[in-house]
Structure 1
Amino acid sequence: MLDINDGFSAYKSTSIDGRAAGADIHKLVLMLFDGFLDELESVTGHITQKRHDKKAQSIEKMMRILGGLEASLDLESGSEVAGNMKNLYEHCGQSLLQASLKNDLSFIDSVRTVMTNLQEGWKGLGSQVA
């Protein structure tokens, strides 16, 4: 039996894979921010609607995205900015875990603020480089 959602998921995955293949590191990081913030909105709905299984899946996905963002940092250079961003990603991860454990949207709001600000900073950095 064909599930339309499976087809849509495959399309989304292929579309994202195609964009990622041709993207530079700046665009890849922006894609990670976009995916993270989209998933954050899903988590808000899952918590509100008490869909705990879907909430857990979304939190796990966001934790993987945070791992990808952290992996993109050049910590070897000793850059203070990279260290600060690593700390912010870790803070967001801890806040997501608290939001999940307590079903508390205030933790989600905090993460949204941090990640939106970081995303805007990356967008500004891209316009300076271009």
Structure 2
Amino acid sequence: MNDFLLEDSYEQYRSVDLEAKAASASPYDLVLVLVDGLLDELARARGHIEGRRYQQKGASLEKCMNILNGLSSALDFDNGGEVVAGLARLYDYCIYRLSDVSVTLSVEGIDEVIALVGTLREGWEGVNAARKAS
């Protein structure tokens, strides 16, 4: 079986898995699902850069930017205050870095975004755990 068929099958599996998780998720859980998907796709984009698979790199980075745009568009600017403004700046910065990575092929740029999103995920997981405990 060639690599394209394996990747296509894996993408179909991930899509069904993501749809199942999203259907049963609270808004807080849904953000975690999206962030996890973003981290997975960032790792995939990094692998594509290292493997010199530039077409796949482009598709992966586009998915990452779409997820970041989706997270940003879901922010409640009317009620979120400075936290929401900070998240919007973070999402915008990550999109900017990924746009740069698309041109420069900088693995360090992807690693920076992975670190930022990983820290965000830890914080969001803490908020979600506190919410569930109360």
Provide TM-score, normalisation by structure 1: 0.91
For structure 1, the 5+ residue unaligned runs are none
The one-letter amino acid paired with 2:118 is T
- The equivalent residue for 2:83 is 81
What is the CA deviation profile of residues 29-79 of structure 1, one whole-angstrom value per residue up to 9, with x for unaligned ones? Answer: 000110000011111111111111000000000011001111221112251
CA distance in structure 2 between the aligned counterparts of 1:78 and 1:72, rounded to whole angstroms: 11
Q: Percent identity?
A: 37
CA distance in structure 1 between the aligned counterparts of 2:53 and 2:6, rounded to whole angstroms: 21
For structure 2, the 5+ residue unaligned runs are none
CA distance in structure 1 between the aligned counterparts of 2:36 and 2:104, rounded to whole angstroms: 25
Please state if 1:108 is matched with 2:75.
no
Provide TM-score, normalisation by structure 2: 0.89
Count of residue pairs the alignment pairs up = 128
2:38–2:67 Cα contact (<8 Å) kept: yes
Aligned-residue RMSD, C-alpha: 1.4
Equivalent residue in structure 1 for 2:68, among 53, 66, 72? 66
- The equivalent residue for 1:92 is 94
CA distance in structure 2 between the aligned counterparts of 1:67 and 1:6, rounded to whole angstroms: 24
Q: Return structure 1 stretches of 4+ with deviation > 6 angstroms.
A: none
